[in-house]
Amino acid sequence: MAELICIGSLRDMPGEDEAREFIVAGRVICVANVGGRLRALDNVCLHRGGPLGQGVISAGKVVCPWHGWEFDANTGAAMQNPSACVAVYPIRIEGEEVLVEI
């Protein structure tokens, strides 16, 4: 059963077109601010396990810092192999709190 977990306040979130790592329910997730909209996805790149939350946002995609694999922040699909997807988690904003459904 999924639960909503507070990961911080809006001021703790990455700036526009930036990504950051957060620990949620014992796992590390990537929170990406893509064009002003927050997205949460699994932090582990499917290519070689790179940390997506340490990457950059380019053309609306989360780019792994290790080998440049790109992931659609809305669907989790890898641009290099669309059948490979990282998990995407719903985000809800309540007041100043940012909650992720895990």
Could you tell me the CA-to-CA distances from 95 to 8, 48, 50, 65 in Å, in that order?
A: 11, 37, 33, 32
Rounded to two decimals, the pTM is 0.93
The reported pLDDT for the residue numbered 10 is: 97
pLDDT in tens, 39-93: 999 999 998 889 999 999 999 999 999 999 999 999 999 999 988 999 999 999 9
Separation in Å, CA 92 to CA 7, 16, 25, 74, 100 = 11, 17, 16, 14, 6
| CATH class assigned to 4-101 | mainly beta
On the question of pLDDT at 1 being above 70, the answer is no
- From the DSSP assignment, how many helices (H) and strands (E) are in the chain? 0, 12
Do residues 101 and 3 touch, judged by C-beta distance below 8 A?
A: yes
At 55 the pLDDT is 97
